[in-house]
Every structure is written in structure tokens, then in C-alpha cells.
Amino acid sequence: MHGMRRTTDGPDAPDRPLIGVSTYLESARWGVWELEAALLPEGYPRLVRAAGGLAAMLPPDEPAYAAPTVARLDAVVIAGGPDVEPSRYGAVRDARCGPEARARDDWELALIEAALASGTPLLGICRGMQLLNVALGGTLVQHLDGHAGTVGVFGRHPVKPVPGSLYAELVPEEASVPAYHHQAVDRLGAGLVASAYAEDGTVEAVELPAGAGWVLGVQWHPEMGGDLRVMAGLVRAAGG
């Protein structure tokens, strides 16, 4: 067990791993209010629940609190979201790169570093995979075409696993995945290996080799589909 395991209410409730999921930080409206809010699309906690875990939101906080936060969790998910600031990987901003989200970059990079240092199972989704790559010294392609549908609509495309990888153990066949992104991994970070590709050669999954702990990043959005296998793999690893 990686953290302080939480249980659901009741003496007969199953003991489910606690999975922390990072959040957006956005201005939002509900009822009569328009305020800054920590947001997480419901697909994330729904996927965690369906895979047998308990979801906890991890809104941006001071990076110094990342390690003690991770110490209380059984696994960490870095969610999708805005583009990573190019200066984080030593690049000049492309005009097509989105606005920075510095609070998220700071917090999520600290969460990744804490998870890696402690051996806590870690899953990066879309932006989360890109940030994992950046955390380990890799770089990103700031814009590519063909991996997003129309604005605000998820597309789908096939992803082929690399035999022998952690991802291939979870999803051994080519699979159609829900995707919405315009950036991708360029140079891999230290220790990372590519474990799935799109038809055009874009890296679609990255991981650390066996023996380095359970660390996986996927470029698509499993929370927008019905395939539980990636999240179920994280939850099993979180259960020790």
C-alpha cells in the first residue's frame, strides 16, 4: 500500500485505493455565482469508481505540499487540460500554443516528482502525459494537425501498442481511443520509452521500464470512453 488507505462507509464496504486526480483552475458559473473554481470533468471520477478506486480532487496548491499530499494517496492521475508552458522544456512559444497555466504546471510537476520519488503509481492523461515527459527532461511538439475533432468535440483514432510494454499488457490489441489534442511528445524524457503509436507515428503512450514502478502516460482521454483497462491497471497497482 502506497498511502494511508481510505475506505467507504460501513463495516462491509470494500477497501478501495484512494486515487488523487489533479484539476483545472478556471472561472466558472453555477446558479447565481461566477467564481474561480477547481474543476474536474465528471468522466475522471466516474472512471476511477468504475475501475474500483476512490477519487480525490487535487486542485493547484503550493508545490511544497505535493510530497505530503502524495504520501496520503495510493496513486496519482495528472488530468488533461491546457498546453504546458514552452519555457518548461526550453522552447520559444509558437503562436499556436495556448495560454499558460502556471499554477497547474507548478503543482502538477511537483506531484509528478513526488510520485516518482516515492514509487507511487502514476498515470498521466493527455496534458498529464506531456507534463510527465517534460518533468523528465523531454520536449513537446507545440502543434500538430489531425488529432482533434471539431472545437469542443472529441475525435477517435486507432492506437497500436508496443509489444512487451506495460501498456500492451493492459491493452494488447490495436484500439480506437477518444482524443482531443494538438500537441505531442517530441524528444522523450530520461528513462521513458514509447509504448503506443498512432498511425501517423505520433507517440500515444509513454512509460518507465519494468522495475521503475508503475508509471504510464496516455495521449488520449480514457475518461471519455468505456474502456476501463488503463485505469483498472492503475487501481490494481495502487492496491499493492
Q: Is 223 exposed, middle or buried (0-12, 13-18, 19+ CB in 10 A)?
A: buried
Q: Is 177 exposed, middle or buried (0-12, 13-18, 19+ CB in 10 A)?
A: buried
Residue among 126, 147, 181, 207 flagged as catalytic: 126
Residue among 2, 147, 181, 221 flagged as catalytic: 221
User: Cα dist. 233→174, 215, 229 in Å?
Assistant: 17, 11, 6
Is 143 annotated as catalytic? no
Residue among 108, 204, 207, 223 flagged as catalytic: 223
Residue 170: CB atoms within 10 Å? 21
Q: How far apart are CA 10 and CA 148, in angstroms?
A: 44
Backbone angles phi, psi at 139, to 5 degrees: -125, 170
Alpha helices in 72-211, H assignment, sequence order: 102-118, 127-135, 166-170
Q: How many Cα atoms sit within 13 Å of 188 on the Cβ side? A: 14
Is 221 annotated as catalytic? yes
Q: Which of 78, 43, 44, 87 is nearest to 59 (CA)?
A: 78
The x, y and z cell numbers of residue 224, run together, are 471519455
Q: How far apart are CA 182 and CA 117, in angstroms?
A: 30
The x, y and z cell numbers of residue 55, run together, are 477519487
* Catalytically active residues, by annotation: 126, 221, 223
